[in-house]
Chain A
């Protein structure tokens, strides 16, 4: 999900399509997977690079708000669990970068675009994690929202993306459950601990709703992406599903969702709820969230500080290669 507002090339009607494009669309309609070396429209390739790249960036940047609490976890067990969770996010980023690279973009190009601000990551990671309860709220809500989006993406039309999503979804359940487990512990604790849990829910509820992207009526890029099956559900469909799943979970914890207009709607079989403040969403996407500069700064610093190490290993490999070649030469 981690992919918001991915710009896609304009939708084409059938009579504007070339025979190649028609054949391609028919393959997708038959649920065939598209594989790296096969013909694909340039727009499909470009849109996927943007979407998978943004998704990968989100996994990597997403390590930062949680990494913030590894050294201050309340017990050794919680620390080991959080470490394992953050390690998984790195792995998810790697699966996705590799999937994007099958489309002909290099890892360095993707990272350069992240570092220069030309590619985005999910708005959610520009919010601070102020207390330990935020580790609970992030796992429960943020990973919960991501799962909502990623489960249908397992059926996406691009083979490498689909297979990456299948691996990720297998690992994601642990993330949400460890978050909810933290929330259950906090809510069964002292009044102060329960208040921390409520405060975390208050701060993360609307940013979590924003993760699904703008309302369908303002979502300009959906039609083509849905025809290509690189977007499987509309933003509003997924948001509704998320709210319907999450409200009973909040009730079980004895927490209150910070929305006075939240109400069960018998007729539609789902909750009515307030929209997030979309002006805040657009401000965060544009770089003006509470932590944008800090997050991007941390990524750029990690990249620059690691340059000598990456170069050193490459130089070592080149030397070893050279020595092996010389030894072979001497033996002949």
Chain B
């Protein structure tokens, strides 16, 4: 068994009310140390109000090569955007 510390992905909530955002990763032996390290590595300039850490191994990502099949189909569904419909100015904001 390798004694290298596992990799953790770090998510920071920048301000009250916002989503946590991925800011980077770091190594740590456990979750508690990951939070302490994240605090030192990623919030030295008061960048956040909350930290989440997730083991990198626990993240399953979509494959970049699947970009086409996954996202292209929405290109033909332009009607999902409100600007697809012409609403006359007289009826007000909609």
Contacts and interface: CB of A to CB of B under 8 A. Distances in A.
B16 A32 contact: yes
Contact of A174 (B18, B50, B81, B90): B81
A177 B85 contact: yes
Interface string B1-35: 00000000000010011110000000000000000
Contact of B82 (A35, A162, A173, A248): A173
Nearest to B88: A252
Interface residues of A, number: 24
B64 interface: no
Interface in B35-94: 50, 77, 79-82, 84-88, 90-92, 94
Contacts of B90: 248, 252
Contacts of A181: 85-87
Interface of A is mostly: helix
A159 B16 CA distance: 8
A163 B16 CA distance: 11
B81 A180 contact: no
A262 interface: no
A180 B91 contact: yes
A174 B16 contact: no
A225 B20 CA distance: 27
Instruction: Classify the secondary structure of B's interface with A.
Output: loop
A84 B16 contact: no
A203 interface: no
Contact of B91 (A84, A159, A252): A252
Interface string A75-112: 00100110010001000000000000000000000000
Contacts of B87: 177, 180-181
Given A163-B19, A173-B82, A174-B80, A248 B92 contact: yes
A248 B84 CA distance: 22
Interface in A118-177: 144, 159, 162-163, 171, 173-174, 176-177
B84 to A, nearest CB: 8
B77 A80 contact: yes
Nearest to B19: A163
A174 B77 contact: no
Nearest to A77: B79
A299 to B, nearest CB: 25
A171 to B, nearest CB: 8
Interface string A160-202: 0011000000010110111011000000000000000000000
A70 to B, nearest CB: 14
A181 B17 CA distance: 35
A315 to B, nearest CB: 20
B91 A35 contact: no
A245 interface: yes
Given A88-B80, A252-B88, 5 more contacts: A33-B17, A84-B79, A171-B80, A177-B87, A180-B85
